[in-house]
Amino acid sequence: MAAAGSGSFNTALADDKQGKKDDAPPKKRYRVIDTHVHLFNARQMGSDGVPKLNFLSLDATIEGYVAAMKQGQVDKGFLITYNAEDVAAQLRNYKVDPAMVRLVYNTAYQKTALKKHPDLFWWFPEHIDPVRETYLEDLQKNFEDGAAGIKMMTVFHGYFPDHPGFLPVYEMCRKYKKPIIMDLSYWYLNVMPAMNELEQRRNRVHRFSDYAALLEPILKDFSDIPISLAHTGTASRASDYDEVFPFIAQHKNLSCDIAASTDYSAAWLQKLVKAVGAGKVMYGTDWPYWTSGASSYLKGDRRWTMIADECPALSEEEKVAILSGNAQRFVENKLPTKVERGAAESKRDS
Ligand SMILES: [Zn+2]
């Protein structure tokens, strides 16, 4: 788990020793992995009829992001790819015509990051739509092409994750030994219902525990697959965590990333770790939606330095786990060990 700086980090460290400037970056103490990153060809916006989206800055591009990683001392990212078709339901909610931004939300562009910077990214494709004729072949090809795992955002495609169309997906993840980042989209259900589900299945989720109940059979049947709930389960309000935290703690294969989570703060993070165990919490940001420029990773709202410096309740070991150790284990398709699941487990087992 030792810090593995690239050449530029080493240069920065050397400069720091000599220069001792106040604004010099702090010495690299941790290996840092951002487990929730998206990239967009934002430079396509504003010309040739492509609208300018105010929620995408130039930091959204490959170059913008790699610069922020370097400046922010972030070693690796989970690159989650999707195109305009995959997130069409949400774009329409934002009054954006998906076809008009297909060059911005563009998987071919995103995948060039993997080619240009193979040492910086693990790839998590998101496109799983049971209606599409080739969805399983496409997934198999992703795995053969080196995907580290997948992301599922089933509600974006109009379904809940227990729809039978996803069963072969879980089976393929098991076969290829690939972990799943699961975005439940609980916080969007009021504006983006699971509209392709037949009526008797569509309105089953009224509170988070309803969602947890429909996930139970999957977690049981695929208990060997590491599953990470994106955005700490997509709680829409702080009180939802009363149901989210125990749910994460209860399942050995369940963990979470903290990207763009509701009510995010150092106090909240320490509460989460206490409830679910440090081995189940992964640092992540949902870049570029939260970016405040190239210094975001050290100084922005979702800075990793908050975990390193502003969480006195966390031990050094726990910080290392949250900033990179758990992410490394996740891409290796391993579940948290009993020790890593921590005190939260013994409380629960009794
Ligand atoms: Zn995201």
Q: State the distance from the centre of ligand 1 to the C-alpha of 25, rounded, in angstroms.
A: 27
Q: How many Å lie between the centroid of ligand 1 and the Cα of residue 82?
A: 10
Distance 21 CA to ligand 1 centre (A): 35
Backbone angles phi, psi at 281, to 5 degrees: -120, 125
Residues 6+ apart with CB under 8 A from 325: 1
Could you tell me if 55 and 334 are in contact, meaning their C-beta atoms sit under 8 angstroms apart?
no
103 pLDDT band, cuts 50/70/90, is very high
Rounded to the nearest angstrom, the distance between the alpha carbon of 318 and the centre of ligand 1 is: 24
Retrieve residue 27's tokens.
């010495």
pLDDT band at 350 (very low <50, low <70, confident <90, very high): very low
Q: How far is the CA of 36 from the centre of ligand 1 (A)?
A: 6
Distance from residue 246's CA to the centre of ligand 1 (Å): 23
- Sign of the torsion formed by the C-alpha atoms of 307, 308, 310 and 313: positive
pLDDT of residue 25: 57
Phi then psi for 32, rounded to 5 degrees? -125, 130
Q: Give distance in angstroms: CA of 37 to centre of ligand 1.
A: 7
**Dihedral sign from CA coordinates of 76, 104, 235, 163:** negative
CA of 123 to the centre of ligand 1 (A): 13
pLDDT above 70: residue 116:
yes
118 near 111, Cβ under 8 Å?
Answer: no
**Residue 346 Cα to ligand 1 middle (Å):** 32
Enumerate residues with CB within 5 Å of ligand 1 (an ion).
286
Q: Give me ligand 1 centre to Cα 136, in Å.
A: 22
| pLDDT at site 337 | 84
Residue 150 dihedral angles phi and psi, to the nearest 5°? -130, 160
* Residue 347, pLDDT score: 53
Q: Residue ranges per domain, the chain?
A: 30-349
Question: What does the alpha-carbon distance between residue 262 and residue 252 come to, in Å, rounded to a whole number?
Answer: 24
State the distance from the centre of ligand 1 to the C-alpha of 261, rounded, in angstroms.
Answer: 11
Residue carrying the six token digits 């963990």? 255
Q: How does residue 17 score in pLDDT terms, banded at 50, 70 and 90?
A: very low
3-state secondary structure of 191: coil
Q: List beta partners, residue 151.
A: 181
- Single pTM value for the model: 0.90
CA distance 319 to 300: 18
Measure the CA–CA gap between 219 and 151, rounded to whole angstroms.
Answer: 16
Report how far ligand 1's centroid is from the alpha carbon of 286 (Å).
5
Question: Span 30-349: which CATH code?
Answer: 3.20.20.140
pLDDT of residue 240: 98
pLDDT beyond 70 at 58: yes
From ligand 1's centre to the CA of 18, what distance in Å? 39
* Predicted confidence band of residue 285 (pLDDT cuts 50, 70, 90): very high
pLDDT category at 340 given cuts 50, 70, 90 is confident
* C-alpha to C-alpha distance for 130 and 13, rounded to whole angstroms: 49
pLDDT (tens digit per residue) in 4-16 = 333 333 334 444 4
- The rounded Å distance from CA 251 to ligand 1 centre is 23
Output the CA torsion 172→217→327→169 (10° steps).
20
